[in-house]
Chain A
Amino acid sequence: LNDLRYLQITLASSDVVFGLVVGLCGMSVIIRTFELLARTTLFAPHGCLSWQLIRELCPFEERHSFELLFVGRWFHSVLIMRLVASCGLLLFARPSLLVPCMMVVALSSLLLTLRMPVGQDGSDQMNILILIPATLALLCHNELAKIAVLIFIAAQASLAYSTSGAAKLISPVWRSGQALPQILSTLSYGNRFAARALSSSPALSRVACWSVILFEISFPFWLLAGPRGSLGILTVGVVFHLSCAILMGLNCFFWSFLATYPAIIFTSVYIGRVLHLHG
């Protein structure tokens, strides 16, 4: 009876969590698409992302008809369709409306990967890891598919944090505390006040670097500590990404990674419950 009741609660909550993940991811896609629309000159024939040039990085040697979508008005139309559809991710819950929007956003994300082999960042990557599985889950018309996708998204987010933490742990620049003041000293990802504060205090800088390393590398373990543990680490995560957005200008990262947090809480509760029932 307990198992049955738990299954009912899980199925009901997975729907809400799934909606939150999709909505937050939609925010990231909306901002990113607006930013690309504000810089469409980059994609023009004289721009640095002109398709004539960028095609050299395309994985397909022979020409395809879909390349028509990569130039001129067609490309602008793709971006506008992506923008409209991504608003649908925030507005619609009914599958008949949400599924077409998800399909447009997921397909346009794949097209953008081909169109922009340079100039994309980790938030675009995380959006793809959310959007494609979520679209497939909606096409399955099954609540269990949504649960599988939520666990997948939580696992990918945990992988992202732990890999990034491990890469920092093996780096002498990070361990010595020099990395953050140096990164924050750049024009692209920097902040004058934060850079000065960290440069003037090596101890503070070392604490900041090690805090990032420990937060990232310990991330997956907190998920096994139950809902309180995962809520604690996710609160730290929100502060971390907010700081990255304010100090480094990583605005889309904030939304893309925040989108994984409902899935992480869900997975943490799910794992805890499964361990409890079978333990």
Chain B
Amino acid sequence: VTLCVASLVFILTIWLLLSVLNQFGRSRFRGLRPADPLQLLPLWTFFAPNPGVHDYYLLYRDKSDGEPGTWQLAQPTQSRRWTSCLWNPDKVQNKVLSDLVQILAGYHDPPKDHGPAVMLTLPYLICLTMAISAAPLSPGAFRQFVLARKRGLVTTDELLPILISDFHHI
């Protein structure tokens, strides 16, 4: 056994042990997270213990001449196709939205309303970017977005707002 192999075995053993420790929740082994900027330590809880049972929607509306228009859907742009078992590029954008909701939920003091502080948060800025890029904004118009959630295909829940923005002039 060469030194190279022995070193590799040592690295893999430590990596595996830290991966096991990481499964016991981030709160208990919080110290591991900052030491892992490349996210080499996995967390395998796939859809558990609380499975994601909501879809997240980003809607926007424009206001020109003081009158707000109707809400338009910015994301998701289309339903999943049957070909998604082979080719599913839309999952990136859907996952970004659901990750942003997780980031919002992770704040110690979750921003419930559109106060000034929430405008400085990353989820707010990303949602605003997505809402702005969804369609061209007419000159002099303002745009507002809402990040909302809704239970899926069978039940007919109403959209429940998670984050509502101010009207922004770009």
Contacts and interface: CB of A to CB of B under 8 A. Distances in A.
A92 B41 CA distance: 29
B56 to A, nearest CB: 8
Given A56-B122, A190-B152, A249 B84 contact: yes
A63 B38 CA distance: 16
B119 interface: no
Interface in B133-152: 133, 151-152
Contacts of A173: 49-51
A53 B125 contact: yes
Interface stretch (A73-81, A153-161, A266-274): A153-161
Interface in B84-129: 84-96, 98-100, 103, 122, 125-126, 129
B87 A163 contact: no
Interface string B1-30: 110110011011001100110010000000
A251 B129 CA distance: 28
A113 to B, nearest CB: 5
A216 to B, nearest CB: 9
Interface in B37-60: 37-40, 42, 44-55
Contacts of A121: 91, 95
A174 interface: yes
B70 interface: no
Interface residues of A, number: 74
Interface stretch (A2-10, A13-21, A132-140, A227-235): A132-140
B153 to A, nearest CB: 5
Given A50-B129, A152-B15, A168 B103 contact: no
Given A120-B95, A125-B39, A186 B55 contact: yes
A31 B95 CA distance: 17
A68 interface: no
A186 B153 contact: yes
Contact of A140 (B4, B87, B100): B4
A110 B12 CA distance: 17
Contact of A60 (B37, B96, B99): B37
Contacts of A188: 52, 55, 76, 80, 91, 94, 98
Contacts of B48: 164, 167-168, 171, 174, 179
B45 A186 contact: no
Given A42-B96, A251-B86, 10 more contacts: A39-B90, A47-B129, A53-B129, A129-B42, A142-B2, A156-B19, A163-B23, A164-B44, A179-B48, A186-B151
Interface of B: 1-2, 4-5, 8-9, 11-12, 15-16, 19-20, 23, 34, 37-40, 42, 44-55, 76, 79-80, 84-96, 98-100, 103, 122, 125-126, 129-130, 132-133, 151-155
27 contacts: A35-B88, A35-B91, A39-B89, A49-B96, A114-B37, A118-B96, A119-B99, A122-B46, A128-B40, A141-B4, A145-B4, A148-B9, A159-B23, A159-B42, A160-B44, A164-B44, A164-B45, A181-B154, A183-B47, A185-B53, A186-B54, A186-B55, A187-B152, A188-B55, A188-B76, A249-B84, A251-B87
